[in-house]
A and B are shown apart, each in its own frame.
Chain A
Amino acid sequence: MTTDTAPSQSVYPVTRDEGASSEAILAVIVDNEPGVLARVVGLISARGYNIESLTVAETDVEKHTSRITIVTTGTPAKIEQIKAQLGRLVPVRRVIDVSREADALERELALIKVINSGDHRLESMRLADIFRARALDTTHASFVFEITGARDKINAFIELMKPLGLKEVSRTGVLSIRRGAESD
């Protein structure tokens, strides 16, 4: 047999993971039945996929369907594999690669607690204003801000709050929907 392959250092090497890792948002439309979330989550953990956020709620009471939005990272091949594996689950009706759709809207809501005083307090109020964050709760020593937006915006706000007394963050995970008249 020919021996024209270069010796490789690794045993099960990179061929399956060509390309750079990137983020993907997957919307998974599922039958709303007992255990469906466990199936989706179990698949992701059993196969060792990354999962950054996951949100779920019933979205169509009549059709008994829920929408699960998953933010994951991986090479394009890995993302294809995740989609195919999710598509194999019996209660999964559709898997939509939202990040591939040019007309997708993405939103997340976060609650952010900062504890500060003096200049920091003023600066955090000023930034909140710029980011259109709302103070849900105010004491002499603290704020709880509510902010909605794409993840980048929320991440940026959190970064800015860090030196200003950021204490606690609670986030919903990503939601997504198409623009325009078309629907999933």
Chain B
Amino acid sequence: MPTAISTSPLSRPAEAQDIRPRVAKAGAELLLDALEEQGVDLIFGYPGGAVLPIYDALFKRDSIRHVMVRHEQGAVHAAEGYARSTGKVGVVLVTSGPGATNAVTGLADALLDSIPLVCITGQVARPLIGTDAFQECDTVGITRSCTKYNYLVPTAHKLSTIVHEAFHIARNGRPGPVVIDIPKDVQFEQGLYTARADAQKRNCIVTPPVNQAQIEQTVEMMRHARRPVLYTGGGVINAGRRASEALRMLARETGFPVTSTLMGLGAFPASDPQWLGMLGMHGSLEANGAMHDCDLMIAIGARFDDRITGRLDAFSPNSRKVHIDIDPSSINKNVRVDIGIVGNAGEVMEAIVAEWRRRRRPEPHDGARLDSWRAQIAKWRNRKSFSFENCDRQIKPQFAIERLFALTRDRNVYVTTEVGQHQMWAAQHFHFDEPNRWMTSGGLGTMGYGLPAAIGVQAAHRDALVIDIAGDASVQMTMQEMSTAVQHDLPVKIFILNNAYLGMVRQWQELLHGGRYSHSYSDSLPDFVKLAEAYGCVGLRARTPAELDAKIIEMIEVKKPVLFDCVVTREENVFPMIPSGAAHNEMLFGGHHVSGDEISEEGRALV
């Protein structure tokens, strides 16, 4: 490890070819000029006193569309959905005080999942800052720990250079959310525009060039591995299409099996025979088995989160580990690794493939080397750990997802989720062959993410089929965004697995707290069909497996937003499950009789 981590100096490329005349303009106009130059065509926002000058400027421009949400948290999640499905930076515009505080959950969500966002907040006029003025809050203070970086804009003159730097920071290195807090008087103040090319660009981490010696060491280990596994995460998706291609190439060349975290689904095709399924707490037996028993683990854009590792001292005890990550602080944070490669996932994988190919010729690699490993994996696979007992009277939630997947297979489909059991069933039973198709709140686990995220996805992909796989409790956290969908003609499909419980909470209470279902039953649920109609959407309901398919097809065909109330069995649990604090080889399976003390004393203390 280097003892010093350096940052790039101010970079000022010589060919600053901005032809705009340097005439002074109001801050609000400078902001929109800068957004335009950054290629922004869509903003998610909500107006208020401290951003009125910006909204006024927006009124006069056709180049930037604005989606008005119903709560600022929704604006941020929508921008996340937009960013994750397009690979571009999502943009949010909210007012000061409550506008900014409402956005905080979304910002924290984007930080943990490394989603590039720029969030513009209004602030009270400079002379009022610090006086407890109306709708004043310390936005920079409040958002400091839930953003990658934030700014309070001191003058209109600095505004455009700050906007350009904010985009640079949001999208480069490990992506994340950046807040720009703009006092109202700065929005009126006259200032000069700074072009993108002339703007200052700092970044804390300069992605180093690929270190060839590390690549060679890695390939050497790969050539001798008998039980290898590729453990991939959201970083592969963030590294762009090229990284997903590189991963596919790497898997094809080496024959290594591939698993992924919740965040990385789609980077590697689920239909590929080398695919092991998702790993972690609710991952497949073959994925977790391979992680536990492997002799070489190559982690790519994944961060050894506690949902993945389970009990750390029992985590993959006999493997050598290589970790590829763009963020040096992720390496050796939770798990010590043998080789830590800092870099862009795509570039590093390409270098590994090149080295692998170069070495292959003189010493042909022994194709049979992995045979017994493949046989072991096949054995785990045959256990069919995601299987469930179906029922012909009531709809099983897993069955509903299976049907939803089967009936939307050939379509241009994007899926978002809320948080809970339905999220895990979606990850287990809905399969993705492409990146950027799956949007879920992984790190923060934010209930209420899915509906606004779906709106953001739909706003970016007008003709796609966008489905939020939801729970009856989560969906009520941001339900008001149905109104946004209607207003902006965004035909998102909200597919609610309605078990009338805070299902995941109920499951933990069953497994950890002796079945005492303390406040996890949703009494007085709304009638979702009537609710849909009240919003001007279409409401559908399915109660039996027999009517499910026809209703799903109807949902797909309706050209309006749909709330689909899929009434499912109430007390289903998500299996398999590695209880918190347990090792990967201590999995619970479906059909398991639970006694209420499945989880150790210590495990109970963990979330």
Give the B-binding residues of A (Cβ under 8 A). 1-5, 8, 10-16, 18, 31, 34-35, 38-39, 42-43, 46, 77, 80-81, 83-97, 100-101, 184
How far, in whole Å, are A135 and B1 apart by their CA atoms in the complex? 45
A177 to chain B, nearest CB (A): 15
How far, in whole Å, are A101 and B328 apart by their CA atoms in the complex? 21
Most buried by A among B5, B140, B603: B5
Taking a contact as CB atoms under 8 Å apart, the answer to whether B329 and A42 are in contact is no
Determine chain A's interface SS by DSSP, over half rule.
mixed
Taking a contact as CB atoms under 8 Å apart, the answer to whether B144 and A39 are in contact is yes
Given the known interface contacts A38-B144, A90-B202, the answer about A77 and B6 at a Cβ–Cβ threshold of 8 Å is no
Taking a contact as CB atoms under 8 Å apart, the answer to whether B204 and A92 are in contact is yes
Given the known interface contacts A1-B292, A12-B606, A90-B169, the answer about A77 and B332 at a Cβ–Cβ threshold of 8 Å is yes
Taking a contact as CB atoms under 8 Å apart, the answer to whether A90 and B312 are in contact is no
Taking a contact as CB atoms under 8 Å apart, the answer to whether A97 and B204 are in contact is no
Give the bracket for the number of chain B residues in contact with chain A.
Answer: 35 or more
Q: B4, B289, B312, B602: which contacts A15 (Cβ < 8 A)?
A: B312
How far, in whole Å, are A76 and B314 apart by their CA atoms in the complex? 22
Taking a contact as CB atoms under 8 Å apart, the answer to whether B4 and A94 are in contact is yes
Taking a contact as CB atoms under 8 Å apart, the answer to whether A94 and B293 are in contact is no
Taking a contact as CB atoms under 8 Å apart, the answer to whether B585 and A34 are in contact is no
CB contacts (< 8 Å) of A1 on chain B: these are 289, 292-293, 584-585
CB contacts (< 8 Å) of B583 on chain A: these are 5
- 27 sample A-B contacts, Cβ–Cβ < 8 Å, listed by A number: A1-B293, A4-B318, A8-B314, A11-B580, A11-B602, A13-B311, A15-B312, A15-B313, A15-B315, A16-B334, A16-B335, A18-B336, A35-B140, A43-B145, A80-B332, A83-B3, A84-B1, A84-B328, A84-B333, A88-B205, A90-B202, A91-B202, A92-B5, A92-B7, A93-B6, A94-B6, A184-B4
Given the known interface contacts A5-B314, A81-B332, A88-B327, the answer about A96 and B3 at a Cβ–Cβ threshold of 8 Å is yes
Chain B 1-50 residues near chain A, CB threshold 8 A: 1, 3-7
Taking a contact as CB atoms under 8 Å apart, the answer to whether A87 and B336 are in contact is no
New contact pairs (16) apart from A10-B602, A15-B335, A16-B333, CB-CB < 8 Å: A5-B314, A8-B314, A11-B602, A11-B603, A15-B315, A35-B144, A38-B144, A80-B1, A81-B333, A84-B331, A87-B205, A88-B204, A90-B148, A93-B6, A95-B5, A184-B4
CB contacts (< 8 Å) of A3 on chain B: these are 585
The 3 closest A-B pairs by CB, nearest first: A87-B5, A84-B329, A11-B602
How far, in whole Å, are A13 and B314 apart by their CA atoms in the complex? 10
CB contacts (< 8 Å) of A83 on chain B: these are 1, 3, 5
How far, in whole Å, are A89 and B328 apart by their CA atoms in the complex? 12
How far, in whole Å, are A129 and B361 apart by their CA atoms in the complex? 76
B308 to chain A, nearest CB (A): 13
Taking a contact as CB atoms under 8 Å apart, the answer to whether B332 and A11 are in contact is no
CB contacts (< 8 Å) of B328 on chain A: these are 84, 87-88
CB contacts (< 8 Å) of A8 on chain B: these are 311, 313-314
Taking a contact as CB atoms under 8 Å apart, the answer to whether A81 and B329 are in contact is yes
Q: Which residue of chain B lies nearest to A85 when distances are taken between CB atoms in the complex?
A: B329
Given the known interface contacts A18-B336, A87-B329, A88-B205, the answer about A2 and B585 at a Cβ–Cβ threshold of 8 Å is yes
Q: Which residue of chain B lies nearest to A97 when distances are taken between CB atoms in the complex?
A: B3
A81 to chain B, nearest CB (A): 6
How far, in whole Å, are A101 and B3 apart by their CA atoms in the complex? 9
Q: Which residue of chain A lies nearest to B342 when distances are taken between CB atoms in the complex?
A: A84
How many A-B residue pairs have C-beta atoms within 8 angstroms? Tell me. 118
Q: Is B198 an interface residue (CB 8 A)?
A: no
B197 to chain A, nearest CB (A): 20
How far, in whole Å, are A15 and B149 apart by their CA atoms in the complex? 32
How far, in whole Å, are A91 and B149 apart by their CA atoms in the complex? 9
How far, in whole Å, are A183 and B144 apart by their CA atoms in the complex? 32
Q: Which residue of chain B lies nearest to A81 when distances are taken between CB atoms in the complex?
A: B333
Q: Which residue of chain A lies nearest to B584 when distances are taken between CB atoms in the complex?
A: A1
How far, in whole Å, are A91 and B203 apart by their CA atoms in the complex? 8
How far, in whole Å, are A46 and B152 apart by their CA atoms in the complex? 22
Taking a contact as CB atoms under 8 Å apart, the answer to whether A94 and B312 are in contact is no
Q: Which residue of chain A lies nearest to B334 when distances are taken between CB atoms in the complex?
A: A16
How far, in whole Å, are A171 and B431 apart by their CA atoms in the complex? 61
How far, in whole Å, are A87 and B1 apart by their CA atoms in the complex? 12
Q: Which residue of chain B lies nearest to A77 when distances are taken between CB atoms in the complex?
A: B332
Most buried by B among A15, A95, A184: A15
How far, in whole Å, are A148 and B317 apart by their CA atoms in the complex? 50
A92 to chain B, nearest CB (A): 6
B181 to chain A, nearest CB (A): 11
How far, in whole Å, are A171 and B334 apart by their CA atoms in the complex? 35
How far, in whole Å, are A93 and B600 apart by their CA atoms in the complex? 45
Q: Is B74 an interface residue (CB 8 A)?
A: no
Q: Is B581 an interface residue (CB 8 A)?
A: yes
How far, in whole Å, are A95 and B7 apart by their CA atoms in the complex? 10
How far, in whole Å, are A114 and B603 apart by their CA atoms in the complex? 52
How far, in whole Å, are A15 and B205 apart by their CA atoms in the complex? 27
Q: Which residue of chain A lies nearest to B141 when distances are taken between CB atoms in the complex?
A: A38
Taking a contact as CB atoms under 8 Å apart, the answer to whether A13 and B312 are in contact is yes
CB contacts (< 8 Å) of A93 on chain B: these are 6-7
Taking a contact as CB atoms under 8 Å apart, the answer to whether A11 and B581 are in contact is yes
Q: Is B489 an interface residue (CB 8 A)?
A: no
CB contacts (< 8 Å) of B580 on chain A: these are 11
CB contacts (< 8 Å) of B313 on chain A: these are 5, 8, 10, 13-15
Q: A81, A84, A91, A184: which contacts B5 (Cβ < 8 A)?
A: A84
Taking a contact as CB atoms under 8 Å apart, the answer to whether A42 and B145 are in contact is yes
Chain B 143-186 residues near chain A, CB threshold 8 A: 144-145, 148-149, 152, 169, 174
How far, in whole Å, are A100 and B79 apart by their CA atoms in the complex? 44
Q: Which residue of chain B lies nearest to A31 when distances are taken between CB atoms in the complex?
A: B202
Q: Which residue of chain A lies nearest to B315 when distances are taken between CB atoms in the complex?
A: A15
How far, in whole Å, are A31 and B1 apart by their CA atoms in the complex? 23
CB contacts (< 8 Å) of A2 on chain B: these are 292-293, 318, 585
B599 to chain A, nearest CB (A): 10
